Each structure stands twice: as C-alpha cells, then as structure tokens.
Amino acid sequence: MHKPEYYMHRALELASRAAEQNEVPVGAVVVYHGDIVGRGWNQPISGCDPTAHAEIMALRDAAKTLDNYRLNDCELYVTLEPCTMCAGAIINSRIRKVWYGAAEPRTGVSESICNLFSQPWYNHHPEIEGGILASRCKKLLQQFFAERRKQKEPVAKPDTP
C-alpha cells in the first residue's frame, strides 16, 4: 500500500493530461485495496459534457473496472476540492474516503463554501482529507490560467467619435 502522496502524484499526472487538452487541469484516481481502479481528468469541453469532471470520469472508470456502481472500500484522490455535482456522485457511489489537493474557494463543498459531505440528511458520509500536495495542485492550476490569460488578446475598444 502506498502513501497518499503517491496516489495524488498519479492524479496530478492526469491533471496534466487535461491541461494538454486545454481542459482545466484536474485529475482523479480511485483506489481499491491499494490498486488504482479508476482514472479521470477534466473533459467537459472536449467531450461536450458538463458532467465530465475528473471525479465523475474516475468514478465511472472504477465502476466499470469493479463491475459495480457501489464503490465501497474505495478511496478517491482528486487534485481539487470537489464541487456540488461531484460531491453528490461521491456520496451516491459510497466512496469511503476522499483525499484532495487544493481548496477551491468558489465552488468547493468540503471546506470552502460549506461541508456538504457532513449533512445529516445523507445516508453516507465519506471521510474527507484535504491539503495533500496542495501547493503542487494549486501551482498547476495557476500556471494553466496564467497561460490562458497570456494567449487571449485584449479586447480592442471601438473607436469613439
């Protein structure tokens, strides 16, 4: 069994793949008894699919690998704090524990804007641990968006009389 950093490095590799495809660089892996059984990276733009977040793609891959939509005893490693949609999928898939890298101050729902995973109305409450290789995860995102800003030409103001 590897340390959490090992799996987060694998998720970072997938996040880099997303960046190469001009997608926001987020990557995720699902681990079952020490083995990676699901992999995913952000693909909503290339896949024309608003649900194709890294977590969702990794959960789908793991469910196919394990031939079960319930991912009991699995852990999810993701480079960015999950959003509301991904939190719902994580809860419904019964992931045992979520490890994430960087916090997401605008849409993160485990520490940033709320703790959706701890709400009493859900029948499943995964363990959550954030901050795994957080600076590397954050740096990858910052570099991606800095490059995107450089590539965009400023909007020219129309001539005024």
Neighbours of 128 (CB within 10 A): 21
CATH 3.20.20.70 fits domain 4-146: no
Q: For residue 69, is pLDDT > 80?
A: yes
pLDDT tens digits for 14-28? 999 999 999 999 999
Q: Where are the domains of the chain?
A: 4-146
Quote the percentage of the chain above a pLDDT of 90. 89
Q: Check the annotation: does 137 bind a ligand.
A: no
**DSSP element (H, E) containing 129:** strand 127-130
Q: Check the annotation: does 53 bind a ligand.
A: yes
Q: For residue 154, is pLDDT > 70?
A: no
Give the SS3 label for residue 31. Answer: strand
Mean pLDDT, residues 73-81 taken together: 98
Q: Is 55 a catalytic residue?
A: yes
Residue 127's DSSP bridge partners are 97
Q: Check the annotation: does 124 bind a ligand.
A: no
Quote the percentage of the chain above a pLDDT of 70. 94
Q: Which of 5, 20, 55, 129 is catalytic?
A: 55
| pLDDT at residue 33, rounded to an integer | 97
- Give the residue carrying structure tokens 């079960």: 68
Mean pLDDT, residues 127-138 taken together: 97
